[in-house]
Each structure stands twice: as C-alpha cells, then as structure tokens.
Structure 1
Amino acid sequence: MKNMKEEWAQIALDLTSGLDSKDRFERLLSTIRNALKCDASALLLFKNQYFSPLATNGLDSDVIGRRFAISQHPRLEAIARAGDIVRFPSDSDLPDPYDGLIKNKKELLHVHSCIGLPLLINERLIGAVTIDAFDPDQFNSFTNKELRIISALAATSLNTALLMERLENQSSESSTSSSFETAQQNNVEMIGESKAMKELKANIKAVANTELSVLITGETGVGKELVASALHEQSSRANQSLVYLNCAALPESVAESELFGHVKGAFTGAISNRKGKFESADNGTLFLDEIGELSLALQAKLLRVLQYGDIQRIGDDNHIKVNTRIIAATNKTLSEEVKEGNFRADLYHRLSVFPIFVPPLRERENDITLLVGYFAEKSRVKLRASSIRITPEAIRVLNTYPWPGNIRELEHVISRAAVLSRAQSIDSDLTLSTWHFSIQKEAISDEPIHQVTEDTLLECPQGLRIATDEFQAKLIQQAYKENKQNWAATARALQVDTGNLHRLAKRLKLKE
C-alpha cells in the first residue's frame, strides 16, 4: 500500500508541474505501469462515440494513430457505458482492441487481464485509461478503491490539459475548440505530430476564422482536400455549406455553367434554371480543387467574382450578389505557371492572400507510423477482422519508402496488404508483414524472400487464392529449410503465431 501511495503522490505532483500535456500523459501511464505491473496501458480521449489514444505505454507504436469506434469494440463500449471501474474476466470472449499489439512481442498474443478506468468530470465521460496484462491474475490484488483513485487523478490530468488548451485558444482570440476535440467534433482529423504537421495546423488555425482567400499547395495525395475541410470547419461559416469543385474534371463546354449557373434556354439542353457552385456556396465556402487547370477565359470571370462579389448566370443579364469564401488548391507551382503565361498574375495574387503548403509524407518524420495505425484500423473494420497487427519490420520498411503518392498511396498500400493478409489467413487475426506490401524494391532490398511486387501479382493468371497459396508454400518451405526444420524457429522468422503456422502448413499440405 505504501508503494501505491507513493505512485499516487507522483501523479498528483505531475498535475501541478510545468510539463506539457504529452509529457504529463506519458508520465501518468508510466506511473500506472509501475504501480500495477501491467504489460500495457493507454490514455484515451472520448468524443463522438470514438476513443482516440493520446498516449500509450507498452503498445505498438502505430496504436497512437488508431481511432476506435465503440460500436466496433465491445470492451471499449462497456467502459464508456459503465460509469465505474470495469474488470473483464480473463476468459471473456469479448475481443480486446489491443490483442496482438503489445510491443516487442513477436507472436500474436492475446491479452488475458484487462481493466478499464472511465475518466469522468461532473459525471461526463471525457476519456478512459485501459490497463492490460498477459497474466490473468495480475490485477486481483488491487481493490476498486485504489483503481478509482487512479481514475480520478487521470481524469483530472486529462481535464487540466483540455482546459489549458481552451484557455490558449481564447487568449489567441480563436473560436475553435481544443485540438484534442476539434478533429472528432467536426469529423475532420489530420493525423500527425511531426514539426511539419504542427506548422500546418498552426497555419490553419491562424487563417481559418478569417474571410481571407487561401491557396493550398502541395504534391498529389498529401491531403489538400482535408486541409480545405479543416479550414471550413474551424471558420465562422462551419454551419453553412462547403461546396467542392474539381476544376481538372470540368469539360470546357460546361465549366462556366458549373461555376456560375445558367437560365432556361441559355443553350441547347438548358431546360430549366440552374444554380452554379458559387450560389450553392453562398454564405459558405467554395473549394476549387486543381485551380491551375482552369482556362484563361474562366480565370478572368473568376477574378471578376472575387473583385466585385457578384456572378452572372449564363443567358441572364442580371447580377447576383454572393458571399462566398474561396479556398483553392493545386499541385502546380502557380508562380511558374504565371511566368509561362498559363495562369493570370492578378488572379494568382487574389487567391494566394494566405498560402498554405501541405508537406509531403517523406518530410513528416514519424507520422507514417501513426497513419499506418489509422489506416490499419479502417481496414480492420472494412474487412471485419478481429485485429490487424503490423510487424516492426514492416513499419521500418514503410518508414523508409519515399511515398511519391503520399498519404493516398499509403492508404491504398495498407488496404491492399490487409486484403492479401485476409486471403492468406485462416482466422480473423491479421498480421501485415513486409511481403504484403507491393512498394518499390529499394525499400525492401534487404529482405528479398519477402518481396511481393504489383508486377508479380499481375503475372498470376491462375487467380489470387491459388497464387497466394503457392507463394506462401514456397516461402514457408524456404524458411523451414533455413531454420533447420524447426517449426517454432520458422514461425519466429516469419513473425507469425506458431499454432497458426502449423494450421496453415497443414492446409497447404506441407505437413501431416
């Protein structure tokens, strides 16, 4: 009991320290782990029926990027509904969201002992702390009273962080809510903790609640549309429409009508009056994606709207006043396009009142790991899998790849890998390893037997299932030979559960 009191005192001291929220949260979990001798713990924020990890201890690095819908995770739902300490029986058949995600464990191990501490402030749920262990009797000696003290201290720590952020927002005269909460509150979340992402979020926060036009630039696939959504949701126009228009997909013959509308009889096929995107976005925001693809003629008409605030439908002599904020995006360097005569200089200066650059994924330090977790959880839900784990080797490979297609490419790669793993697995616990990823050879050149390229898959006329079985059989045979016919060593080399490997080998007729 003395040690427990010392741990409580340490948590209480951390609450009054000058630590930032992230450090305070990590210290909190470290103290809990020392006190309860658990294998893993997590501090989760609760918002809009989702739990989002703010800090973890003992879990795989990608967990911090995952977002857990309580409708998809019965244990988390039980914690959210309980209002008090939840002890799950060691033989509970409810799947644990962290099964297979304990750090430094090569085999797919299942959590046996689990406790949920709901974090309540004035009877309102703001988060939870989850505590897990492999020993089914690990937490039997701790009373609910002791656990409630930890829960109360953790709730105070989280609430203090939320209040501090609200005060910071108020002092900077921002009407946006806490960054912990804004993402889920408005359904716009940008995953990342790198310096580049912090700068991006700061720029969004600075300009969002103004009426300035914004020009979003960046490579293909970096998430410019997500930035536009964040700008709208954090603005005073958030309750009005955000209207999207892809300028690159507009045929010249209909582009003007799409932007400004037309009246009945204005041209062949105009059988009724029709609003354009500007009118649809009146009092809201118009997002013009791929703005660099607009013709010079349309650029001139767009400039007039920005200058005078009115539009003219095709075939109509009347002018219609609109109050529309413009957010534009492009993967081109518009200043160069201006020099080459492809883009109007006056329109460029009107649009780029506040330019925002979205960094490419290769410049975002460890954000790839968080995004891998985020997309893995999305894939798990879509495939109705119990769990999806990414091996440390695969995480390393994904972090060393240059990602020319950025976040869009990463999402597709994770989705494809999950589908391949699902096709290969005999149960719903999926593990994504290096050979599931069809990315450039230079990223995985040190692991030649694990390479599966897109070209390889396209050369399989016998179908995916047969090709997958053949590939697995060859890979297992090679690993079995290299590990001196030892199945346990083979399982470790392939980063799979030994039991699963035995069952798979039997199905592939590699053993009796």
Structure 2
Amino acid sequence: MKNIKDEWVQIALDLTSGLSSKDRFERLLSTIRNALKCDASALLLFKNQYFSPLATNGLDGDVIGRRFAISQHPRLEAIARAGDIVRFPSDSDLPDPYDGLIANEERQLQVHSCIGLPLLVNERLIGAVTIDAFDPTQFDSFTNKELRIISALAATSLHTALLMERLENQSGENSNNSSFERSPDNHVEMIGESLAMQELQANINAVANTELSVLITGETGVGKELVASALHQRSTRAQQNLVYLNCAALPESVAESELFGHVKGAFTGAISNRKGKFESADNGTLFLDEIGELSLALQAKLLRVLQYGDIQRIGDDNHIKVNTRIIAATNKTLSDEVKNGDFRADLYHRLSVFPIFVPPLRDRGNDVTLLVGYFAEKSRIKLAATSIRITPEAITLLNDYSWPGNIRELEHVISRAAVLSRAQSDDSDLVLSPTHFLIKKENHAEKNIANQIVTPHSKNTKDLRSATDEFQANLIKKTYQEQQQNWAATARALQLDTGNLHRLAKRLNLKE
C-alpha cells in the first residue's frame, strides 16, 4: 500500500476534478487492482435491495448489465448487512456471483479469495466494492484498517457522483445516461451506455419535468413503453397514476368508452357509470401506445381534450375537467399518415411538440453485451441456476446479429438459450454457447450483394447523371427495406433531412 500512496492521493483529488463519474470509477478500480493485486473488482450501487454494477475491472463485459438481487446472492447479502469489511474464507460454501465471469482464459478456475467493502454514508448503505482473487492468500497481508481507507474513498467517490447527478437533474443539465437512477423494481430501467442511449436519456431529462405532450417513435420492440415510464417517473406527476392504453388493441366499438368513460344506460351493456382512462389518469399521465391506430373520429375527440382539458362520458351532457399529461407512441411515420389522410395534422402537431426517437438495438453498439448480461441474470433467477455465463463466441454472435425484433427479440433469445442449456446439462452452472442461440449468423453473401448494389460496375457505360441516379435509387431502396419501410428511419440512416429524402425519392420515381 505504501508504494502507491500517491495513487490514493490522486483518487482523493479526483473527487474535486472535472472527471466524469465513469472515468473516476474506473480509475478507482484500477488503483485497487494495482494495490491489492486482485484479479477482479467491481463498484456496485445499492438500491431497492439490488446491487447494480457501475464499473468493473477484470470481469466479463456483460457483468455491467447484470442486476444482483441480494435475496438471490448470499455473499452480496452478507456485504449489505455487515456494516464493515467482509472477508470470505477460501472454503466458503456461499456461491460467488462472479464465478465464471472473471475475464481469464482458464475458465475452470473459480474465485478463491473474496473481500466485500460496504460503502456507507451516514450509516446508510449506498453501494459496495467487491474484490476477488484466484490466490486464496492474496489479501492476507492487508489489514482491515487499510481496507477501510479504500472503502471510505470509494464511498466518498460514489456519494459525490450521486450528489452531482442529483444537482444536474434539478438544473436540467444532465445530458448523460441516468446511470444511478436504476431500480429493477419499478420497471423503468433503460440499460445502455452508447451515444444513442445517452442522447435518448438527455431528451428524456429535458422534457420529463415539463407539461408538454411527448410523441415517442421507434421500431417495434425498442422499449417505447419504458421511455414513457421514465418520462412519468422523472416528472412532477411521478406520485400520481401512469395509465397505459394500447390503441391497437381497442375495438372501435369500445374505444371511446375506454378513453372517456360512459354513464349507466348509455348503450346496451352499460349497467353502471364507468370512468375512462382520462379520468383514471387525472393529475397523472396517460400513455397512448400505437396512437396511429386510432380512428379519425376518436382523433378529433382526443384533440378536443388537448385543447380544452375536458371530456364527456358517453351518454352524458356534462363536461368533466381533467388534468392529464399525454405521452403517445407509434412505430408509424405519422407525418406520412397525415399526408395519406389517415391521421389529423392538427393532432399530430399537438402531440409532436417534443418528439423522442428510440434507437433500434442494431444502432446501439456494445449495449447488446450489457443487455445480454441483464437478461441472463433474469433467466438465472427464473431457472434457479447457480450461474449463467455466455461464451465470448456467443457474445460475438449476438453483437453481429441485426436484431430486427430489437430488445424484445433479444430477451426471448436469451431465455430460450438458457432453457436449452439447462435441458442439456445436469449442472446448475449454465454456459451459453453459439449452439444455444436460435439466430442465424449474418449472411456475408447478402452483404456482398449489398455492396454490389451501391458499387457501379466498371462495364457500365451510362452517363454520370444516370449512374448517380441509379446508385441513389438502389441505396435508398435497400435502406428503406432495412428500416422496415419507414421513411423517417431511412432518412436518419442516410443522414438526410426527411423532406429532402421525400423529394429525392419522388424524383427517382420511388414514391408517388
């Protein structure tokens, strides 16, 4: 420890520096590794009886995405309840949550020496640092006093980050992903560290605490409902109801009653007065999923609510005032629906005051790895397995796949793979390899064809204008199909203004 005291001084100085929380945490773990010569370490946030990794060193990449319920992990529960340094003996029969997850080529080795440092502020647990080594005697030479110094620095570092994020959220300046507002219990956690997710989180933070209507767009399965939940939870209405209504699942005959309610005798079967979703969400938030499926007649009535803030139950002449914030979502391009006459322009403009686009999974880079870890831990609990590890080859396969069904598809793929692995093995330590995943490796032949589509042949004798038009038309058609025939998504993929893309597509006879 004495040889690296300068590094600990630097960690203390980092607390007042302009470093990002992520960089500060990574430097902390790097210093711990250098000081204790451990094989792996992790900084964990404690919230709602879960430990969530904020930074790791020496562990598999998917660990960051995992959420550890202390009720499921005896060692983590022991750390949470101890109030002081916890040293686990090398022959401890308590399973280690990281067994099989340490980035080491000799996978048959398991962790032998483990230490847990609870992070306390005013005697309140805010997190923990876990330190693991293969050598069972690795930490014998370090005193508890020395380990408490590490614990104090780590607790101060985490507490500082939490305070900074709280201040940034209050001032509306937080443009990073809300790493610390994680809670597996409230179903609004959005896992991801990609630039696309940081932009999404920044947009959520910008508009959440306003009264503006929000239109959430994105492909099926990207998590639009989670975005709506996050908007509600971060708003001043968070303590009131968030009411969900899937417009696509509403038969026309009951849609109006679902939205606005009815009085007794209003129609056959109306045996009593009934509130609609607007009244249920009064002073709270109403989330209208798949709003593009509403009929034009209901769109007109919805517009009236947005304009005047009152509703009429079916069969009632009285107007009822409601104070309801509207969040809507769709996988359609509503601007196209407006042009086609299928969606009211005035309602579209009312709803899209602040549009939020949820990126598809294929555009989120390494977030796939984090989500794999998250869903693997969920599957482990459901299957009562001791551990679930994903091989590096499987991680590569999953990252290379294009995920047309987005996060929903990924969750199902991980669940199926875990079930298959469990069925094929008597061991409760499950290992998921590429053979367990029912997805196809990306077809390189298709990629070559795509390259040919956008690469003019040397034998082509067309003039430059014709060749350029053909090149543009083929590229637009290819991208349009890849984006599930969504013009707005195609424009984003091609980095074009949507209006310019529509004009270009018309000139190239790709649309009327």
Which whole-Å CA distance do the structure 2 matches of 1:221 and 1:318 have between them?
A: 40
The question of whether the paired residues in 2 share the 8 Å contact of 1:41 and 1:129 is answered with yes
Q: Residue 431 of structure 1: SS of its match in structure 2?
A: strand
Q: Residue 134 in 1 paired to residue 124 in 2?
A: no
Aligned counterparts, 1:369-408, within 5 A? 369-408=369-408
Distance 1:21 1:181, change over 3 A: closer
Q: Report what 1:64 is aligned to.
A: 64
Q: Residue 181 of structure 1: SS of its match in structure 2?
A: coil
Give CA-to-partner distance per residue, 1:339-362, whole Å, 9 cap, x none. 111111111111111100000001
Give CA-to-partner distance per residue, 1:263-310, whole Å, 9 cap, x none. 111111111111111111111110000000111111111111111111
Give the superposed CA RMSD. 1.9
Aligned counterparts, 1:84-483, within 5 A? 84-105=84-105, 107-172=107-172, 179-184=178-183, 187-442=187-442
Q: Report what 1:464 is aligned to.
A: none
- Partner AA of 1:147 in structure 2: L
Distance 1:327 1:383, change over 3 A: same
Q: Residue 139 of structure 1: SS of its match in structure 2?
A: coil
The question of whether the paired residues in 1 share the 8 Å contact of 2:400 and 2:441 is answered with no
Q: Residue 196 of structure 1: SS of its match in structure 2?
A: helix
- Partner AA of 1:381 in structure 2: I
The question of whether the paired residues in 2 share the 8 Å contact of 1:285 and 1:324 is answered with yes
Q: Report what 2:453 is aligned to.
A: none
Listed as ranges, the gaps of 5+ residues in structure 2 are 446-512
The question of whether the paired residues in 2 share the 8 Å contact of 1:217 and 1:358 is answered with yes
The question of whether the paired residues in 1 share the 8 Å contact of 2:178 and 2:201 is answered with no
The question of whether the paired residues in 1 share the 8 Å contact of 2:38 and 2:132 is answered with yes
The question of whether the paired residues in 2 share the 8 Å contact of 1:286 and 1:327 is answered with yes
Q: Residue 9 of structure 1: SS of its match in structure 2?
A: helix
Q: Residue 29 of structure 1: SS of its match in structure 2?
A: helix
Q: Residue 338 of structure 1: SS of its match in structure 2?
A: helix
Per-residue deviation, 1:147: 0.7
Per-residue deviation, 1:178: 9.9
Distance 1:113 1:364, change over 3 A: same
Per-residue deviation, 1:160: 1.6
Q: Report what 1:20 is aligned to.
A: 20
Which whole-Å CA distance do the structure 2 matches of 1:167 and 1:303 have between them?
A: 37
Q: Residue 136 of structure 1: SS of its match in structure 2?
A: coil
Which whole-Å CA distance do the structure 1 matches of 2:38 and 2:243 have between them?
A: 49
Q: Report what 1:508 is aligned to.
A: none
Q: Report what 2:52 is aligned to.
A: 52
Q: Residue 287 of structure 1: SS of its match in structure 2?
A: strand
The question of whether the paired residues in 1 share the 8 Å contact of 2:401 and 2:441 is answered with no
Give CA-to-partner distance per residue, 1:366-418, whole Å, 9 cap, x none. 11011011111111111111101011111111011000000000000001101
Q: Residue 197 of structure 1: SS of its match in structure 2?
A: helix
The question of whether the paired residues in 1 share the 8 Å contact of 2:46 and 2:127 is answered with yes
Which whole-Å CA distance do the structure 2 matches of 1:27 and 1:35 have between them?
A: 12
Which whole-Å CA distance do the structure 2 matches of 1:255 and 1:315 have between them?
A: 15
- Partner AA of 2:22 in structure 1: K
Which whole-Å CA distance do the structure 1 matches of 2:368 and 2:291 have between them?
A: 28
The question of whether the paired residues in 2 share the 8 Å contact of 1:62 and 1:372 is answered with yes
Q: Residue 120 of structure 1: SS of its match in structure 2?
A: strand
Q: Residue 146 of structure 1: SS of its match in structure 2?
A: helix
Q: Residue 95 of structure 1: SS of its match in structure 2?
A: coil
- Partner AA of 2:275 in structure 1: K
Per-residue deviation, 1:183: 2.7
- Partner AA of 1:428 in structure 2: S
- Partner AA of 1:21 in structure 2: S
- Partner AA of 1:118 in structure 2: P
Which whole-Å CA distance do the structure 1 matches of 2:437 and 2:380 have between them?
A: 16
The question of whether the paired residues in 1 share the 8 Å contact of 2:79 and 2:118 is answered with yes
Superposition TM-score, scaled by structure 2 size: 0.84
Distance 1:261 1:234, change over 3 A: same
Q: Report what 1:492 is aligned to.
A: none
Distance 1:436 1:68, change over 3 A: same
Q: Residue 46 of structure 2: SS of its match in structure 1?
A: strand
Which whole-Å CA distance do the structure 1 matches of 2:15 and 2:311 have between them?
A: 56
Which whole-Å CA distance do the structure 1 matches of 2:147 and 2:441 have between them?
A: 50
The question of whether the paired residues in 2 share the 8 Å contact of 1:7 and 1:35 is answered with no
Which whole-Å CA distance do the structure 2 matches of 1:178 and 1:113 have between them?
A: 34
Listed as ranges, the gaps of 5+ residues in structure 1 are 446-512
Q: Residue 438 of structure 2: SS of its match in structure 1?
A: coil
- Partner AA of 2:298 in structure 1: L
- Percentage of matched positions with identical amino acids: 87
The question of whether the paired residues in 2 share the 8 Å contact of 1:400 and 1:443 is answered with no
- Partner AA of 2:117 in structure 1: L
The question of whether the paired residues in 2 share the 8 Å contact of 1:162 and 1:178 is answered with no
Which whole-Å CA distance do the structure 2 matches of 1:14 and 1:307 have between them?
A: 51
Which whole-Å CA distance do the structure 1 matches of 2:291 and 2:108 have between them?
A: 48
The question of whether the paired residues in 2 share the 8 Å contact of 1:215 and 1:328 is answered with yes
- Partner AA of 1:316 in structure 2: D
- Partner AA of 1:35 in structure 2: A
Superposition TM-score, scaled by structure 1 size: 0.84
Per-residue deviation, 1:187: 4.6
Q: Residue 40 in 1 paired to residue 40 in 2?
A: yes
Give CA-to-partner distance per residue, 1:445-478, whole Å, 9 cap, x none. 9xxxxxxxxxxxxxxxxxxxxxxxxxxxxxxxxx
The question of whether the paired residues in 2 share the 8 Å contact of 1:7 and 1:32 is answered with no
Q: Residue 116 of structure 1: SS of its match in structure 2?
A: strand
- Partner AA of 1:218 in structure 2: G
Q: Residue 181 of structure 2: SS of its match in structure 1?
A: helix
- Partner AA of 1:257 in structure 2: S
Q: Residue 442 of structure 1: SS of its match in structure 2?
A: coil
Per-residue deviation, 1:425: 1.5
- Stretches of 4+ aligned residues off by more than 4 angstroms: none
The question of whether the paired residues in 1 share the 8 Å contact of 2:176 and 2:201 is answered with no
Which whole-Å CA distance do the structure 1 matches of 2:225 and 2:290 have between them?
A: 10
- Partner AA of 1:303 in structure 2: L
